[in-house]
Amino acid sequence: MALRLLKLLAPALLLLIAAGLLIDPVAQLPAAHKLTLNQLPYALATGVALMAYGFNRNQILFATLNLISAYLLIQLGLQVSLDQPGAYVLFSALSLLIPINITFIATYSEKGLFTPLGLTRLGGVLLGYILLILLWSNDALAGQLPNLPANMFEMFIDGRFLSNMAAVFFGVALTTNLIYFFTQRGHGSAGVLISLAASLCMFVWFDQPNISTLLITAALIGMGISVVQSSHKMAYLDELTEIPARRALQDKLATLGKRYTIAMVDIDHFKKFNDTYGHDIGDQVLRMVAAKLATVSGGGKAYRYGGEEFTLVFPGKDEAQALPFVEQIRELIANYPMYIRSDNRPDDEKQGARMRNKKADADYTTVTISIGVCEKTDEYADPMAVIKVADNALYEAKKNGRNQSVAAHYKPEAPKRRRTRKDYA
């Protein structure tokens, strides 16, 4: 799980590091180039927001609006010394408003935008920025300096620009985001966490030239990557089993050469299993079978074809070469003691493993699969023709009693029976 979470954050972390390394080189650019660079976040925010809206990634959409609104105010009112009262009030307000918004965005579920709840959330993100723009445009911020609490003037780190109060707000936001990130493990949570990390770094090193442009640009690119990763997962991974789905299989079939083997896998008596234990237990069976199939060796790759049917693809192998690995995975599933989850069944995997080791018959069952195997030959025009023949072999395996593998062409010899003394009688 840790590796999976790291993969979600790795691109954005690299981007943030790159942004920090670019501070000095960007500072040496001509003024015209810097001006162009300052406009880049607006273009990126527009693109990321459109992608997020198109794929219903509202967390990323709101995080994007939060960042770009803050960036707009920074460009309008904070291109001067913070010694000016109005600038310091604006800076202090932003250092609180950004983590407050991010804290609430982290808790948002992916609902429709144009719903009462969605529009309320959108208004909640933008309201604070609208008020700040109105106060700034009317030169009303400077008068609020005496109203700032004392811990807005005390820095959390000596020589840096994060106040004690802002540090508390960022701490709450970080804790909330980490909780949701580790529990949801989704690209939306990763994108929101990226925006928080960029904002925190921006306030800590606010005195660095072009820091807001570089960090917000990096964060927006990272959030855009999160949207792309999320949309890819939706399109290519099966939501229930989390193995590649049929669309991914179709892409794989298009890249196969002239030599490969395809195995079609079907769970035996799955309908009866569903009728006996219920669809929730049926989903458990699908997930278990998928997890075992995903461990297939020999260069094979598992896909969910649909329903209770799966596909194994072995590039560069014929039936004789692929069959031992197919049989290995079939036996692995047949010998796996599956315990039916009940009210007393723990969700923890280690506790579940201990229950399996006890082999209590009350909740214990086994699942078997039947497999049809077919290699590519000159008589088959394309992979779909190979799949059709593999399906026919699968039906033969079912007909012959299930829990077995049948190859369309290769027929392994039955093991020779060892002679006994009785044979010579």
The C-alpha atoms of residue 27 and residue 109 are separated, in whole angstroms, by: 40
- DSSP one-letter string for 19-62: HHHTHHHHHTS-HHHHHHHHHHHHHHHHHHHHHHHHTT-HHHHH
Catalytic residue among 239, 308, 331, 413: 308
Residue 421 carries which DSSP code? G
Closest CA to 290 of 259, 312, 315, 263: 312
Q: Is 308 a catalytic residue?
A: yes
CA distances, 347 to each of 1, 6, 339 (Å): 16, 24, 12
Give backbone dihedrals phi and psi of 401, rounded to 5 degrees, phi first.
125, 0
Distance CA 289, CA 309 (A): 10
d(CA 390, CA 399): 14
State which H helix or E strand residue 126 sits in: helix 116-137
**Coil, strand or helix: which one is 111?**
coil
Query: Which residues carry out catalysis?
Result: 308
